[in-house]
Amino acid sequence: MTTLTVQGMHCDACKKLIQMELDDAGFGDALVGVTLKPENVGELQLAENLSAEDKEKVIASINSMENYKVIT
């Protein structure tokens, strides 16, 4: 499973905003789980079968959002 670390996440609303962004971009099924960590960081678990190209599109979608940045 691929894991992305996202800076700027601190609450359940952050999870929902990112889920909505991925749904709008057509990647709603790519997100398997989200874990909030200390210091405004979240870990997103992505589907195993997600292609490298689609992973880059997911990262771009998240990075386009205000206040969020994929750091891993």
pLDDT by 10s per residue, the chain, length 72 = 799 999 999 999 999 999 999 999 999 999 999 999 999 999 999 999 999 999 999 999 999 999 999 996
For residue 72, what pLDDT is reported?
65
For residue 1, what pLDDT is reported?
79
Write down the CATH number for the domain with range 2-70.
Answer: 3.30.70.330
> Hey, where are the domains in the chain?
2-70
Q: What's the residue count for the chain?
A: 72
Are 61 and 25 in contact, with CB atoms under 8 Å apart?
yes
| Helix 52-63 / helix 12-24 crossing angle, nearest 10 deg | 120
Residue 54 has phi, psi (to 5 degrees) of -70, -35
Q: State the pTM of this model.
A: 0.92
